[in-house]
Amino acid sequence: MADLFSRGEQPEYLFWVGCAGAYDDRYKKVAAAFVKILSYLEVNYAVLGKEESCTGDPARRAGNEMLYQMQALQNIELFKGYKINKIITICPHCYNIFKNEYPDLGGRYQVISYVDFLDGLISSGKLVFSPEALGGVTITYHDPCYLGRGNDIYDSPRRVLQAVSGKLVEMHRNRSFALCCGAGGGQMFKEAEKGDKEVFIERTEDALKTEASVIATACPFCMTMMTDGLKYKSKEEDIKNYDIAELIVQAMGI
């Protein structure tokens, strides 16, 4: 972003990578996959690079409103400096906080979740691929809480998956009934409280019951949890956990 800005150019979109996209080894691949799609279509976008910083979401959900607001107000200042008004996120937690919570602090943007963005590209015919491209794998989709219940985004990820493979099967708890992966609200970063079972195992069992060979996720935390669940069940060889963006890249062969 800084480079473009210094050349006096203004990209149409800011692609907000998020901390997981930047640092989590597995999710780095998702960020890379999404960038492949953006570049393939020559979308006019930029990233903030080293200037990007945490949105404040984990702090906020864990009760540290002070730290959240410091992060948020700094980010809002940064966005103001670059005159940013369209933000694409690949993390539902970043999406939610920009879309719903930054406006309370004066940061108003057009915030686009990548699942909606990809859905738009497919329905407008810009992204074209054969539904057979993935060899007819059966996919089940795990709704991230912050897209689904949190922001009522249920259909666009399903349309995308229908496009990459006609075989989409639902877990018995799906859409607004979907079970959390167990990582929201700060849980990603701490041990779970004492109980009989880990939430991610319960949710992985939901996915395994569908007998799908791919679990599609659309959130970095869900991805960590579902991948861990597959490992716990020793299923990581037979069943793969991919992000929606990765499945598109595979289907397009880019």
Partner 1 sequence: MLSQIIFAVALLLTIWIFGYTSSRYIKLFRITKPAFPVRDIRKRILLTLRVAMGQSKMFRKPFTGFMHALVFWGFLVILIGSIEMVIDGLTGSERSLKVLGGLYELIIALGDVFALLVVIAILIFLGRRLFLHVKRFEGIEMKYISHLDAKVALSIILLLMLTLIGMNAGYVALKVAGNEPIHGVFPISKHLAGLLEGMNVVQLHLFHEIHWWAHILLIFFFANLLPYSKHFHVFMSLPNVFLSRLDPLAKLPNMDSITREVKLMMDPETAFASAEGEAAPERFGVKDAEDVSWKNYLDSLACTECGRCTSVCPAAITGKKLSPRKIVMDLRARMREKGKGLISQGKDFIDQKALLRDYISEEELWACTTCNACAKECPININQPTLIVDMRRYLVMEEGSAPGELKAVFNNIENNGAPWQYSSEDRLLWAKDIEIKKS
Binding segment for partner 1 (CB under 8 A), chosen from 16-24, 81-89, 111-119, 156-164, is 16-24
Stretch 193-252 residues interacting with partner 1 (CB under 8 A): 193-199, 202-203
Count of residues touching partner 1 (by CB under 8 A): 72
User: Of 88-147, which residues contact partner 1 (CB under 8 A)?
Assistant: 96, 100-101, 104-105, 145-146
Give residues 58-77 in contact with partner 1 (rule: CB under 8 A): 58-67, 69-71, 73
Strands of the sheet containing 13-16, edge to edge, are 45-46, 13-16, 86-89, 110-113
State the nearest-atom distance from the C-beta of 237 to partner 1, in Å.
26
How far apart CA 231 and CA 234 sit, in angstroms, is 5
Binding segment for partner 1 (CB under 8 A), chosen from 19-27, 82-90, 114-122, 228-236, is 19-27
Record the tokens describing residue 151, joined without a space.
């922001």
What is the C-alpha separation between 38 and 140, in angstroms, rounded?
A: 25
Residues facing 110 on adjacent strands? 86
Non-local (6+) Cβ contacts of 232 within 8 A are 198, 200, 201, 204
Which one, 99 or 240, has the nearer CB to partner 1? 99
Q: How far apart are the C-alpha atoms of 44 and 205, rounded to whole Å?
A: 41
For partner 1, the binding residues in 20-39 under the rule CB under 8 A are 21-24, 28, 31-32, 35-36, 39
Among 123, 132, 136, 177, contact with partner 1 (rule: CB under 8 A) = 177
| Residue of 179, 223, 244, 247 that binds partner 1 (CB under 8 A) | 179
Q: Which residue, 105 or 169, is less far from partner 1 as judged by CB?
A: 105
* Piece of 3-11, 53-61, 210-218, 229-237 that binds partner 1 (CB under 8 A): 53-61
* Closest distance to partner 1 from the beta carbon of 142 (Å): 12
- Smallest distance, partner 1 to C-beta of residue 128, A: 10
Minimum distance, C-beta of residue 182 to partner 1, in the bound complex (Å): 6
Q: Does 184 bind partner 1 (CB under 8 A)?
A: yes
Name the nearest CA neighbour of 175 among 150, 202, 148: 148
The binder of partner 1 chosen from 83, 189, 234, 237 (CB under 8 A): 189
Chain Cα centroid distance, residue 25: 15
